[in-house]
Amino acid sequence: MKIGFIGLGNMGSPMAANLVAAGHAVTGFDLAAPAPEGVTMAASAAEAATGQDVVITMLPNGAILKSVAAEVIPAMAKGAVLLDCSTVEVDAAREVAGQCEAAGLGFLDAPVSGGVGGAAAGTLTFMVGGSDAAFATAKPLFDIMGQKAVHCGPAGNGQAAKICNNMILGVTMIATCEAFALADKLGLARDKMFDVVSTSSGYSWTMNAYCPAPGVGPQSPADNGYKPGFAAELMLKDLRLSQAAAEAADADTPMGQAAAALYEQFVEREDGKGMDFSAMLPRFEKRHREL
């Protein structure tokens, strides 16, 4: 396929490189990032989108997505697909989907899970919203860039799946960190805590696959000074998206709301910025109970 790729940062660059390695012709655009090997760089987003079968975007937020969409949609050929892999507001995804439909284009919102490592290895999971026809067009590209693509329904549902998943992730990580900090104060060794919980009803991804305690369980960012695998500020972004969606949908999400408030405090008023989201554990270690 002929592919335009807009947004060649930490995630977009390895994703584009994997498409090139699989034999696709990729034309890229980014305001600052260098060109991945094999990607032909364009002078603008519109130029990168012209004449392509699929245009992929990997952008920081919904406002930038809407700005880029306004530039690329008029340049895209009828029947082409705009595939957005950013994590943005559900409403932003649905707004761009409507613009694409009016222009005779397909649209997919396909946020990812798996981080930079998954992007480089081609093992991302895509949560996809959009039409069956657009999904069928993009499926060969999902197979190159990831290990799994789940078609979640109409436009916006990919974003809905991502923010619901990451709300669970944020809440669960906080609970896991709280439990380790409590175990410390009760004199329970961390390795014993892990051995019990990882095979009992407290089993979770944050305990078993991404343990926040260094030296316990499989390798994780905790074993590398909490350098980000998934940065705390990105978790805060996703939790804020979940709470904006919950407010719009009149959904009661008290645990998600509490997690968003805790990560906001950690990132914006403490020392969490630039740390992995599992660095909540050393935060709780240093704290005492508030009355």
For 39-96, how does the pLDDT look when each residue is reduced to its tens digit (9 = 90+)?
Answer: 999 999 999 999 999 999 999 999 999 999 999 999 999 999 999 999 999 999 999 9
pLDDT for position 291: 67
- Angle between the 157-186 and 232-249 helix axes, to the nearest 10 degrees? 120
Instruction: Report the number of secondary-structure helices (H) and strands (E) in the chain.
Output: 12, 9
Q: Cβ-count burial of 223 within 10 angstroms (0-12 exposed, 13-18 middle, 19+ buried)?
A: middle
Q: d(Cα 270, Cα 265) in Å, to the nearest integer?
A: 6
Amino acid at 58: M
* pLDDT given for residue 290 in this prediction: 82
The DSSP bridge partners found for residue 54 are 3, 81
First to last CA, the chain: 61
Specify the 3-state DSSP secondary structure of 83: strand
Q: Which of 59, 61, 106 is nearest to 79 (CA)?
A: 106
Structural element, H or E, at residue 16: helix 12-21
Query: Could you read off the pLDDT of 140-153 as tens digits, one per residue?
Result: 999 999 999 999 99
121 within 8 A of 145, measured Cβ to Cβ: no
Q: How far is CA 45 from the centre of its chain?
A: 22
**Opening angle at CA 51, ends 63 and 11, nearest 5:** 45
b/e string for 246-276 if b means 16 or more Cβ within 10 A?
A: beeeeeebeebbebbebbbebbeeeebeebb
Reference 142, options 18, 11, 283; nearest CA is: 18
Q: Which residue numbers are catalytic?
A: 162
CA atoms within 13 A on the CB side of 74: 5
Q: Distances from the Cα of 185 to the Cαs of 50, 247, 285, 286, in angstroms?
A: 61, 37, 9, 11
| pTM of the full structure | 0.91
Between CA 27 and CA 6 the distance in angstroms is: 9
Q: pLDDT tens per residue, the chain (291 residues)?
A: 999 999 999 999 999 999 999 999 999 999 998 989 999 999 999 999 999 999 999 999 999 999 999 999 999 999 999 999 999 999 999 999 999 999 999 999 999 998 888 999 999 999 999 999 999 999 999 999 999 999 999 999 999 999 999 999 999 999 999 999 999 999 999 999 999 999 999 999 999 999 999 999 999 999 999 999 899 999 999 999 999 999 999 999 999 999 999 999 999 999 999 999 999 999 999 999 886
Distance CA 41, CA 175 (A): 45
Phi, psi at residue 41, to the nearest 5°? -90, 140
Rounded to whole angstroms, the Cα distance separating 212 from 206 reads 7
Distance CA 127, CA 161 (A): 6
